[in-house]
Amino acid sequence: MKKFNLEVVREDKIKVELDPEYFNEKWFEDFRNYFYDLYTLEELSEHIAYNVVENGLYFIEGIGTPLRDGATPTWASKEDLKHLIIQANVIYNRYDTDCATNII
């Protein structure tokens, strides 16, 4: 059997839309008390994007279940949909991904 070591580099394209009226300083203060030290909408968008792309989550602890492409994610579980949050929207197509593979 021939063995190969590979390096796979993947680039996902994702947009996260957040309502700054909802995700205000008070919201961030409460979030930091229980979860992570995030201070800006940019940091929060990175946190959401990571959980959607890398962890495949619909429900994100401390945030809820964001909309997908501006609509309720129909494939999410009933439990996830109990925590639907319309103040966050994720636009992501997991098949629109650039990938490069190199033998190392």
pLDDT band (50, 70, 90) for residue 98: confident
Cβ neighbors of 37 (< 8 A, separation 6 or more) are: none
pTM of the model: 0.84
Q: Write the pLDDT tens digit of every residue in 45-83.
A: 999 999 999 999 999 999 999 999 999 998 889 999 999
Q: Measure the CA angle with vertex 96, ends 91 and 98; round to 5°.
A: 125
Q: Write the pLDDT tens digit of every residue in 20-41.
A: 999 999 999 999 999 999 999 9
What pLDDT shows up at residue 79?
93
For the four alpha carbons of 21, 22, 23 and 26, in that order, the dihedral sign comes to: positive
Domain ranges of the chain: 6-103
